[in-house]
Chain A
Amino acid sequence: MTLSLNKITKTFGEVKALNNVSLEFTEPMIYGLLGRNGAGKTTLLNIINGRIFPDSGEVLMDGIPVADRDELLSKMHLMGEVNYYDDDLKLKDAIKTADGFYGEAFIVAEAHRYAKLFELDETKKIGKLSTGYKSIFKCCIALALDVPFVFFDEPVLGLDANHRDLFYKLLIEDYSRKPKVIVLSTHLIEEASPIIEKFVIIKQGRILLEKSAESLAQYASSVTGPKEKVEQAVSGCQILGRSFIGALETAYIVGKLSGTCDGLTVQNIDAQRLFIELTNTDKEASL
């Protein structure tokens, strides 16, 4: 199954939240949707799942528009930041409701198992949960679903290190058993990146980069050494950013250094560093 976004544009007042975005989710894979606050990640996920509607463009599943089609909408799930569950619903009743809506695609026993692993009290009402536990509960529902497309918007927000670790573990377990398209939108790039197979970086409402983890690792490198030497070596390269400690310079460049690198340290840069260099504003970069 293919889910494709076709030239999606969305404005909120004066702000262009998404600008002509086209994107495809095809093979079962864990995608990482990265972007800074306000880059348009949540807007994108909300549009895909029909919570809001684009000004122009459409979301297609195998070529058929998703909007207004229950049979397609129910093949997706978005674990979102905002709580859409009734606050006065008990957890166990919310699980029952999810079961009613998703039917066979929702594995009730799994939901209970996840809730137990996270030590959720199912007799509690959703409104009584802390922000972290609300996220956890929404994750439990999403993980128990066997639909072809599952989206997580900041799933680990407000979770402690142990719960985050457990979430990643369960996510991989779930994914290995039932391969599907999983889209993970997160700010915690470092801890999520080993899980991610394909990175989608979004900046100011546009797709900046779409690369497999492998090619992302090769995408850029850093060159460190005395300022003049570094500048000489990287001239002609596409430079993403520079940082200085006194006369010691680190330049982040696209690709590898082609010329000599005598006396210079050349290193690969990880996803997090690359993300920062790609999405820095000029002001931040000058600091």
Chain B
Amino acid sequence: MEINNESQIPIFMQVADALRDAIFTGAFGEDTQIPSTTEISIAYRINPATVLKGMNLLVEEQLIAKRRGVGMFVSIGARERIKEMRYSEFSKNYIKPLVLEARKLELTDEQIAALIKKEMKTDDTKSE
């Protein structure tokens, strides 16, 4: 994960994204403790208050929960929930911009579908 100061996305959102990503990829396993605010803020050279704000987003989403006197733990089922969240936003984040750009380029529906198919094929061969 890399924090980008110049990004349009506020730093606390970037922190939240990075944490979600870490849970989703399994780096932070369910029912395990995640690094403390201090650890994260030192690692990325960002203010602890900013990190806390990012973490609180995940608490609100019930992806992580505080255990008194111990620290933050990844909730059971968090990974599945992130998957659902990402799925529901997939259309908005990826398909909509694609369609918008395609319309600007005056591509037909068939052309778009063909392009997607082609990309999927090259990706398959790469992963093999």
Contact = CB atoms under 8 A, between A and B. Distances in A.
Interface of A: 29-30, 165, 168-169, 172-173, 175-177, 190-191, 193-197, 213-214, 217, 267-268, 270
A270 B9 CA distance: 10
Contacts of B50: 194, 197, 213
Given A270-B5, A270-B6, A194 B45 contact: yes
Interface in B47-63: 47-50
A196 B48 CA distance: 10
Interface residues of B, number: 17
B112 to A, nearest CB: 24
A268 B4 CA distance: 14
B10 A172 contact: no
Contacts, number: 49
B19 interface: no
B6 A176 contact: no
A196 B3 CA distance: 15
A190 B3 CA distance: 12
A195 B42 contact: no
B45 A168 contact: yes
Given A194-B5, A194-B50, A217 B10 contact: yes
Contacts of A193: 5
Contacts of B16: none
Contact of B47 (A165, A173, A213): A213
A20 to B, nearest CB: 30
Contacts of B46: 172, 194-195
Contacts of A172: 38, 41-42, 45-48
A190 B47 CA distance: 14
For the complex, would chain A's binding face be called helix, strand, loop or mixed by DSSP majority? helix
Interface in B91-114: none
A267 B8 contact: yes
A190 B45 contact: no
B49 A190 contact: no
A196 B42 CA distance: 13
A169 B44 CA distance: 8
Contact of A165 (B5, B6, B10, B45): B45
Contact of A197 (B37, B42, B47): B47
B42 A176 contact: yes
B11 interface: yes
**Which of B10, B37, B47 has the largest count of A CB atoms less than 10 A from its CB?**
B47
A168 B38 CA distance: 13
22 contacts: A30-B47, A172-B38, A172-B42, A172-B45, A172-B47, A173-B38, A173-B42, A175-B48, A176-B41, A176-B42, A176-B48, A190-B6, A194-B47, A195-B47, A196-B47, A197-B47, A197-B49, A213-B47, A213-B50, A217-B10, A267-B8, A270-B6
